[in-house]
Chains A and B, each alone.
Chain A
Amino acid sequence: MSERKIRVLVAKPGLDGHDRGAKVVARMLRDAGFEVIYTGIRQTPQMIAEAALQEDVDVVGLSILSGAHMTLCPKVVELLRAQGQDNVLVVVGGIIPDEDVEKLKAAGIDGVFGPGTSSEEYVNFITSHVRVPA
């Protein structure tokens, strides 16, 4: 009897300590029936990739408000791929200028979500994009 759940790591890379949004999203995802691993603030890309590996998550959600997204987010993707986690979905939420969205996607980020994104949007995006093994 297989009992698979979608596992999501929610992390805040970088130095801003504003974790309200990350906590709201973590809770939304919990209420959608996901198993959410919350790591808290001030995580380095290395810490995030390592946690994603140990927890064998399907999705990594990064919350970032500091403006350092162009440095930190691609680094997380790079580290995940380097350790063999090729299929982990990576999404970013926070304050991301429009002109950076395409650049992030080109760097391997699967989805970018700004303020006001509804719970349904997050959940639908994840359930329709997550790469569950056969």
Chain B
Amino acid sequence: MSGVAIRERAAVETLVEGVLRGERLTLSRAISRVENQEADAAALLTALYPHSGKAHIIGVTGAPGTGKSTLVTALAQSYRSAGMTVGIVAIDPTSPFTGGALLGDRVRMRALAGDVGVFVRSMATRGSLGGLSKTTGDVVTVLDAAGFDRIIVETVGVGQAEVEIASTAHTTLVIEAPGLGDEVQAIKAGILEIADILVVNKADRPGMDRTLRALEMMLDIEGNGARYVRHHGQLLRVESPVESDEEESRWKVIVMKTVATEGIGIDDLRQRIEAHRHWLLDSGEMALREQLRIANTLENIIRAELNRRIASSVPAGSLDALVEQIRRRESDPYSAAAGLLSGI
């Protein structure tokens, strides 16, 4: 790199002040630093964390092509018309082969251009498989500290088991579209279980009634109560006190119809999300979900630090030698791993 100017590197304090003052370029650079897990990312997050915890975080997930980006755009517009500011994090997959990514969610978000009450950031998964990227939660913290009222996190187009969003968001929307599967798809374990609100988008398409019926049938089978333990239980292993409470205190998962391209059903959806937020606060579930979220964050930080220590204590090249030994059946992966880890 010959003689090109190096962009000046701002100090952590400067970034923090800028983010809190709502400077958009500073916010953007702070997000990069967190996303790239640069050396001072932890210091930055430490300083911003006390200012977070005010935003309501909405997760939007579903299969590719169900209209997530369009729905997120319409929802953000609806929140703007209600006078609230919106931060959006939109995630698309990183290629496992080249490490590159094509982040295309903005194509559907042009209606949000020019509005300073909205901030959209695209992120690549960078190797994570749960539907988010490793640092999505941290980027949400930065946007939260910057003062956005609502933060919408759009996952990659998911299959059946990418449920990580449920431990990041306060309210999780699962987006379906007509004609994607039969009743058996609807009762499979996984993605549908994490929904606080099920949205059937593209409701003007054929097959709408059938999809709606299948989803409602699923909710019937579930009994639509005591869901919390089951739907977050596997994921986070926490007992819910709500379970033993009376019927009214439980959140009833509902199925909503929208046509995001036309804005149909979107204001209703926003009101539903707000109703869910109020239920979370009134029932005490919010504290519980926050606990789960924090436990999850803490676990991720510890795991990342352990990974870093493992990587730094395993000499470069020694892994290759071990792999070769194992290939020749002179060793096996189990004792090789135990040997490596005993030194940490």
**A100 is an interface residue with CB less than 8 A from chain B:** no
Q: Is B36 an interface residue (CB 8 A)?
A: yes
Residue from the list B7, B24, B39, B100 in contact with A53, Cβ < 8 A: B24
**A54 contacts B24, C-beta separation under 8 Å:** yes
Tell me whether A37 and B7 are in contact in the complex, defined as CB-CB below 8 angstroms, given that A2-B38, A46-B114, A54-B24 are known contacts.
no
What B residues does A44 contact at CB under 8 A?
A: 113
Q: Give chain B residues whose Cβ lies under 8 Å from the Cβ of A84.
A: 25
Interface residue B330 (Cβ < 8 Å from any Cβ of A): no
Q: Are A30 and B5 in contact (CB under 8 A)?
A: no
B102: interface (CB < 8 Å): yes
Q: Is A26 an interface residue (CB 8 A)?
A: yes
Which positions 83-114 of chain B face chain A at CB distance < 8 Å? Answer: 94-95, 98-104, 106-107, 110, 113-114
Please name all residues of chain A whose beta carbon is closer than 8 Å to the beta carbon of B1 when the two chains form the complex. 128-132
Does B174 belong to the interface (CB within 8 Å)? Answer: no
Is the pair A56, B29 in contact by a Cβ cutoff of 8 Å? yes
Which residues on the B side are within 8 Å of A85 (C-beta)? 25
Q: Note all chain B residues with C-beta closer than 8 A to A53.
A: 24-25, 28
| A130: min CB distance to chain B, Å | 8
Tell me the A8-39 residues at the B interface (CB within 8 Å).
Answer: 26-27, 29-39
Known interface pairs A50-B114, A85-B25, A134-B9; A30-B100 also in contact (CB < 8 Å):
yes
Q: A1 contacts B113, CB within 8 Å?
A: no
Q: Is A118 an interface residue when CB atoms closer than 8 A count as contact?
A: no
Closest-CB distance, A20 to chain B (whole angstroms): 15
Interface size grouping (class) on chain A = 35 or more
Interface size in chain B (residues, C-beta < 8 A): 39
Chain-A contact segment, one of B121-129, B150-158, B231-239, B270-278: B121-129
- The distance in angstroms between the C-alpha atoms of A107 and B157, with both chains bound, is 40
A86 at the interface (CB under 8 A from B): yes
**B6 close to A (CB within 8 Å):** yes
Q: Is A99 an interface residue (CB 8 A)?
A: no
| CB atoms of B106 and A35 under 8 A apart | no
Give the contacting residue for A3; candidates B5, B107, B120, B126; CB below 8 A: B126
Closest-by-CB residue of B relative to A51 is B106
Report yes or no: A35 in contact with B31, Cβ–Cβ below 8 A: no
* B221 lies within 8 A of chain A by Cβ: no
Nearest B residue to A2, CB-CB: B38
**Nearest CB in chain B: distance from A50 CB, A:** 6
The answer to whether the Cβ of B32 comes within 8 Å of any Cβ in the partner chain is: yes
- CB of B36 within 8 A of CB of A3, answer yes
Q: Is the CB of B100 within 8 A of A31?
A: yes
Residue of B nearest to A29 (CB): B100
- Contact of A50 with B113 at beta-carbon distance under 8 Å, contacts A31-B100, A32-B100, A56-B32 already known: yes
- Sample of 16 further A-B pairs with CB below 8 A, known A30-B102, A47-B114, A133-B7: A2-B39, A4-B38, A30-B98, A37-B106, A37-B122, A39-B107, A51-B113, A53-B28, A54-B120, A55-B28, A87-B6, A129-B1, A129-B4, A131-B6, A131-B7, A132-B6
Shortest Cβ-Cβ A-B pairs, 8 listed: A40-B107, A133-B7, A30-B100, A56-B28, A87-B7, A47-B113, A56-B32, A33-B99
**5 examples of A-B residue contacts, CB within 8 angstroms:** A5-B36, A30-B95, A30-B101, A36-B100, A83-B25
